[in-house]
Structure 1
Amino acid sequence: MLKRLIGCFVLLILFSFPVRAEKSPVIAKVGPYTLTRDDFQKELENNAQLKALLTLKPDMKKVLVERWVEVTLLGLAGRDAGLEKDPAVRKEIEEQTRMILARHYYEKRILQGLKVSEKEAQEYYLSHRKDYRIPERIKARHILIRIPEGGDKKAEEEALSRAREIRKKLLSGADFAELARRYSEDPGTKDRGGDLGTFSRGQMIPEFEEAVFRLKVGQISSPIRTRFGYHIVQVEAKIPAQIPPYARIKKRVIQDLLEVKKEKRLSALLMELKKKYSVEVHPENLP
């Protein structure tokens, strides 16, 4: 816990300023450093996990302030001990500084002013409609009769016989969900009456999927053999492939276009910077 809390406030400590007149109320002071309410709130806004923790345990705020004081004291002592001159410490400080400068420069050059107009979003949707296509889906239930791992031919024949008997009951009008609760050996769906929910191609094992997608709505399948055993399946609905209207996925379209704009800006910026600064890469030296 202490390590996590220190991590949350390390940037505040590294970049605190000496005590000065503050409009924001002061929470704590240590030597030349100060922690204000604005500092504290800003750190919370940038750390969703910490913010959620404090929502559940408000008293942890006092613990965070105590850790800020403790780490600031240790930081002051380390500075007075001349640790800033230690090559290993100096390298770590430079690494942190590089990461912080990169983040702020990225925010300034890439994110600042980045937006998508309604017209741009609609045009992007129209030119990328196929990317939002939802494939054909099936809603189905199943009853699984397992074959024991390493089971012999007799065990397989017995499982197949049980599956056929259950299918006869279904064809005679028995309720599928009720029989699934009674006979299915799939613990994940048994209590839901065998409900598999909706799924599209590529989400189930091939031999199961191939057989199920050939079924008509309401049809009871013959026993389908997979590595799990024998399945009896009933398709409850088939949902044709579709492309959602713009209004339904507007937020997703806007977010996708924002990502495209970010990538374009970043690519152009990196090309510009590679011309300005020397870059060498030696992948052959990777361990």
Structure 2
Amino acid sequence: MKKRFTVGVLVIFMLSLCLIASAVTVPGSTGEEEPKVDPAKVIAKIGDKTFTEGDLSKEIETQGKAMRIGSINDIPKEERAQFRRMVLNNMVEKWLILNAAAEKKLTASEAEVQKELKELKGRFPDEAAFQSALQQQNMKQKDIEDKIRETLTIRKVMENVADTTATITEEQLKEYYDEDTDRFKQEEEVKASHILVKVEKDATPEERAAAKKKIEEIRDKITKGGDFAKLAAEFSDCPSGKRDGGNLDWFGKGRMVPEFEAAAFKLKPGELSDIVETSFGYHIIKVTDKRAEKILGFDEVKEDLRQDLINREKGKKFMDWLKGQKEKVTFMNPEDKETN
């Protein structure tokens, strides 16, 4: 599998939060509250558009929830000004980009949003794991869809304002590859399918026993020549069963829950696992292929490298454009403005 240098929509969104989080420490409430501010007070403006203390408070609350921060008072006092400035500038920059999208009539279609959502869900073992991840981030599926739509729209603006016809030579690509070949390490991976008989966390001993009996009967059918994919489609409680005969495609270590991972990586291609119990229930795993760890060769990643260097050029052009747009914004307190 080739190393990819593009980042998924959800990753981009969560990374933006992590970048903010990395700049602040959240040890719990300090007991020192911020002084009250007038929510109608204008703190930045561009043309007829104004940004108020109230707007900033809402944005701080939104990002705080994603970062599990109750309020700005939970941040050490000496770091609050920096956090406030970062959130304000992010809010202004996002408005500038989305305003350009509106002016240029650039928007993500529902089909594009659903395509990204489907790809995102495909990174999880099943729907339950996806919903659990959302819950951990205090998010609902609609929140993710909105963020995907917003991020896709931002991506369209980036492509529009940073269009480039940069020519990347073979020599540049080779030099870039040789800088750090460890970047192209492909970890050991397996390609596997599974059948899940789900067991709820609050299941009774009788319900758990019935689920185990069911999975044992399914495994018995397979060992007697039953078609794994057809049985997955008929019996599996994982969406992958109905969608693709239980196929989970390729995955490396750290992607699945520990019990599932340990069982899958012990199997050889074509082998069937014993019954595997995880927090989701009971599984039967069939490994269909394996790939050993290796360093991908230059020819294998050359086109990805080319796209990465082009994306770097686009990124520089986009940041230059955004800096120019930001010059049009007036910050009431000049110290609030970040210079990228």
Larger Rg: 1
* TM-score normalized by the length of structure 1: 0.50
Larger RCO (CA within 8 A; separation ≥ 6): 2
* TM-score normalized by the length of structure 2: 0.43
